[in-house]
Chains A and B, each alone.
Chain A
Amino acid sequence: AQKVTQTQTSISVMEKTTVTMDCVYETQDSSYFLFWYKQTASGEIVFLIRQDSYKKENATVGHYSLNFQKPKSSIGLIITATQIEDSAVYFCAMRVNTGKLTFGDGTVLTVKP
């Protein structure tokens, strides 16, 4: 069975700083995909960034980057130069070979001016 765990319920940071959100996962599959999504206040779920399990390089998209530590089954999301509009709920997710996509419970990020 697959499991995704986000231990940080909420994080508060000052604008323009860097924040890291943690995520650990469990799977028996040797190949899988890891994702981070953002859910805005309106409820919209937006894809941010993806990491393929077979790739050693950490993915980077804009001011989002990942800290992929495969031996620890960990995929952290790093947001640099945070902005007020980054305030949202962030979800970590994993898709395994069956296509099943499992989500963590989310981390609420508040960016203060």
Chain B
Amino acid sequence: DMKVTQMPRYLIKRMGENVLLECGQDMSHETMYWYRQDPGLGLQLIYISYDVDSNSEGDIPKGYRVSRKKREHFSLILDSAKTNQTSVYFCASLTYNQAPLFGEGTRLSVL
């Protein structure tokens, strides 16, 4: 079964700490995404990755960076996290039927 795995599922950090969110897929899909979702809102695109070391900014990249050194893994990094980065973060992988498959999300609280 196709699956996108996000780790950790829940994370609490203090303002100013660095945050690493990880996403994995075992289907060798080329295109992957990072989104954030705030309460009552839709999903906002942070970054899109087309393959290893081929990343592009989405709509809200400020305060975030990404890393993709292996096709199966796509990481989202928050350097010196801010309280307004408290959100639920979703990773997705573009499947061969053209429909992105989403992970279960990471709930991040920055205190």
Contacts and interface: CB of A to CB of B under 8 A. Distances in A.
Interface size class of A (residues with CB under 8 A): 20 to 34
**Interface residue tally on B, bucketed by range:** 20 to 34
A91 B56 CA distance: 23
A94 to B, nearest CB: 12
Contacts, number: 52
Contacts of B50: 99
Contacts of B97: 50
Name the prevailing secondary structure of the A interface residues. strand
Centre residue among A43, A98, A104, A105 by max chain B CB count within 10 A = A43
A100 B41 CA distance: 18
9 contacts: A45-B43, A45-B90, A45-B105, A47-B100, A52-B98, A103-B35, A103-B44, A105-B42, A106-B41
